[in-house]
């Protein structure tokens, strides 16, 4: 049960039929046709009934939350591809998502692993994660995950209540995570939404689809005609374009091997990945020169989501978070679609062939509500586990039965590791995360309208903050500071206040914080954040009082 990714993929590769149209496949089909008998056809028919019953039952037995329903979407998509076009037609996302399923070669189907469902407040998790009371030992987090069990963690509140800035300039809100562990490997699926103009995005999607060409070898695969082509929104008070992030961590060498960002366009996904093997043929070569260029662009684009994958690494501590507050966890029963559908005549054949264990009319979900308010300020910054992205090579698929070698030179079937670093594949420095809560502020009228801000860099001591002003947005100011010579690390906005006279208010604040100033020539202060915030708010209140006299 506790197998690694390469072993599971090797096992699938061993039973995958050669691609249709190849000489190997033609010969195999002839042999199978000659050996076919009524008894064999009966066995195959019964196995098909069982496979269909199990998959259909699992499609109905989820808790009904975004994360477990997304896993079921992938299960349905993968099985439809396998049954209609064969194993080799499975989408590239299977490279990560396979960990959530078990491929049964007898049934020729992917079956969901056992699940445990949780609901939580992401704001409360951030408060706990950024506290000084927890041990960031990833081995402890690893031990809180039982091997082969899917953990789904869905947020209780609107994803727009807590937005994270990402490198490409947009913000993301998180809906939930799913994770599964095998050995020291942990595969993660994250559902999130990205800010943007969805009407404009939909027009762009339709233009791209109308001018694009089908993927080579998959020209016959078509989406359901009832699906709508659009930038699919999340259920939120703020327009957020639904996306799914997939990645795999290995705590043995602290590596992150592949990353996928999948934007939901209704009929399929726009996928960006830094996995070069996605773009290669059986010989490890790019099919066309433009494919290599597309791979390079995809690699660049996915860097704009580094913070999203950093967030995925912090989710490794969610099981530990639930353990810490186990006395506050409430168990709730959620009625499944299976309970609603089980009496229908059309379901009787499914009930007959499906195992009893997956006939679940209810799901018991662990709920931890916690706090809905970020501690002290409208934004908080926190460090993330220091994983490195694997960029020293890539996996190349081999013909069935062929033996290759892994990174260490050990023999494996079906794949081989190519030690090659493409010039455009470069690892990025791990950064800290910024969680932002609250609506955008309107600047009051005054002689010098702008913002007073508190910023921080993760490389500084815990209580060192920059307190200053800007007449632009605080994000623009933070970006300027992050790229300035002599400023170590990236600067993040902790909080901001819109004021009518930012110049006079800043002078008053700096005067009261003078004893905490680190350098008389610079605007850095070493003091508890609570004290800095109280000084800022006191001076803003005094300015407002004078203005309204």
Give per-residue pLDDT as tens, 476-501: 777 666 554 344 455 777 788 889 99
Domain spans in the chain, listed from the N-terminal domain onward: 440-547
- The helix (run of H) or strand (run of E) holding residue 247 is strand 240-250
User: Looking at residue 438, what is its pLDDT?
Assistant: 52
In the 8-state DSSP scheme, what is residue 108? T
Show pLDDT as tens, one digit a residue, over the chain (549 residues).
Answer: 567 888 888 888 888 777 676 777 778 777 777 777 888 888 888 899 999 999 999 999 999 999 999 999 999 999 999 988 888 888 889 999 999 999 999 999 999 999 999 999 988 888 787 765 566 677 777 888 999 999 999 998 888 888 887 877 788 899 999 999 999 999 999 999 999 999 999 999 999 888 766 555 555 667 777 888 999 999 888 899 999 999 999 988 888 888 999 999 999 999 999 887 777 766 667 777 777 888 888 888 888 898 888 889 889 999 989 988 888 999 999 999 998 888 887 778 788 888 889 999 999 999 998 765 555 444 454 555 666 665 555 555 555 445 565 555 555 555 555 554 444 444 454 445 555 555 556 677 888 899 999 887 766 666 788 899 998 887 777 766 655 434 445 577 778 888 999 999 999 999 999 999 988 878 889 988 889 989 999 999 998 888 766
CA-nearest of 263, 260, 163, 240 to 194 is 240
- How far apart are the two ends of the chain, measured CA to CA in Å? 73
User: Looking at residue 283, what is its pLDDT?
Assistant: 66
Given CA atoms 445, 447, 451, 454 in this order, what sign does their dihedral have?
negative
User: Looking at residue 279, what is its pLDDT?
Assistant: 75
3-state helix, strand, coil in the chain (%, to 5): 40, 25, 35
The string over 69-103, giving b where at least 16 C-beta atoms fall within 10 Å of a residue's C-beta and e elsewhere, is bbbbebbebbbebbeebbbbbbbbbbbbbbbbbeb
pTM here is 0.73
């Amino acid at each position: 049960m506790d197998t690694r990714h390469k072993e599971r993929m090797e096992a699938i590769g061993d039973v995958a039929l050669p691609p249709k149209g190849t000489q190997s496949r033609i010969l195999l089909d002839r042999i199978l046709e000659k050996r076919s008998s009524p008894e064999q056809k009966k066995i195959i028919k019964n196995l098909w009934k069982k496979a269909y019953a199990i998959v259909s039952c699992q499609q109905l037995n989820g808790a009904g939350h975004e994360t477990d329903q997304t896993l079921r979407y992938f299960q349905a998509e993968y099985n439809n591809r396998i049954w209609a076009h064969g194993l080799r037609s499975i989408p590239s996302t299977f490279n990560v998502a396979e960990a959530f399923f078990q491929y049964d070669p007898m049934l020729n189907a992917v079956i969901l692993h056992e699940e445990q469902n949780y609901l939580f407040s992401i704001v409360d998790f951030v408060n706990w994660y950024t506290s000084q009371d927890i041990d960031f030992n990833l081995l402890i987090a690893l031990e809180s995950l039982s091997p082969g069990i899917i953990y789904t963690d869905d947020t209780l509140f609107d994803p727009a209540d807590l937005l994270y800035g990402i490198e490409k300039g947009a913000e993301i809100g998180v809906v939930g995570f799913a994770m599964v562990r095998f050995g020291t490997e942990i595969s993660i699926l994250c559902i999130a939404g990205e800010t943007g103009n969805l009407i404009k995005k939909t027009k762009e999607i339709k233009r791209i689809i109308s001018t694009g060409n089908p993927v080579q070898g998959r020209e016959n695969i078509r989406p359901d005609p009832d699906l709508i082509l659009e930038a699919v929104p999340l259920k939120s008070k703020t327009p957020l374009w639904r996306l799914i992030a997939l990645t795999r961590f290995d705590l043995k060498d602290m590596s992150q091997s592949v990353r996928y960002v999948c934007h939901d366009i209704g009929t399929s996904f726009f996928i960006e990945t830094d996995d070069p093997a996605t773009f290669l043929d059986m010989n490890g070569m790019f099919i066309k020169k433009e494919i290599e260029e597309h791979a390079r662009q995809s690699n660049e684009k996915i860097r704009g989501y580094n913070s999203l994958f950093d967030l995925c690494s912090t989710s490794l501590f969610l099981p530990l978070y639930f353990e810490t507050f186990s006395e506050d966890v409430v168990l709730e029963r959620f009625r499944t679609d299976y309970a609603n559908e089980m009496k229908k005549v059309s379901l009787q054949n499914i009930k007959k062939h499906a195992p009893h264990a997956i006939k679940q009319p209810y799901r018991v979900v662990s709920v931890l509500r916690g706090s809905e308010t970020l501690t002290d300020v409208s934004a908080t910054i926190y460090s993330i586990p220091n994983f490195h992205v694997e960029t020293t090579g890539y996996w190349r698929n081999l013909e069935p039965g062929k033996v290759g070698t892994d990174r260490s030179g050990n023999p494996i079937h079906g794949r081989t590791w190519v030690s090659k670093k493409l010039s455009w594949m470069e690892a990025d420095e791990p950064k800290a995360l910024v969680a932002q809560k609250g609506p955008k502020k309107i600047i009051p009228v005054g002689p010098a309208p702008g913002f007073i801000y508190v910023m921080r860099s993760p490389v500084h001591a815990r209580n060192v903050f920059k307190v200053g002003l800007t007449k632009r947005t605080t994000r623009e100011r933070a970006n300027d500071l992050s790229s300035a010579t002599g400023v170590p690390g990236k600067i993040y906005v902790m909080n901001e206040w819109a004021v009518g006279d930012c110049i006079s208010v800043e002078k008053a604040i700096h005067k009261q914080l003078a004893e905490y100033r680190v350098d008389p020539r610079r605007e850095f202060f070493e003091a508890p954040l609570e004290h800095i915030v109280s000084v800022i708010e006191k001076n803003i209140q005094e300015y407002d009082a004078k203005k309204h006299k």
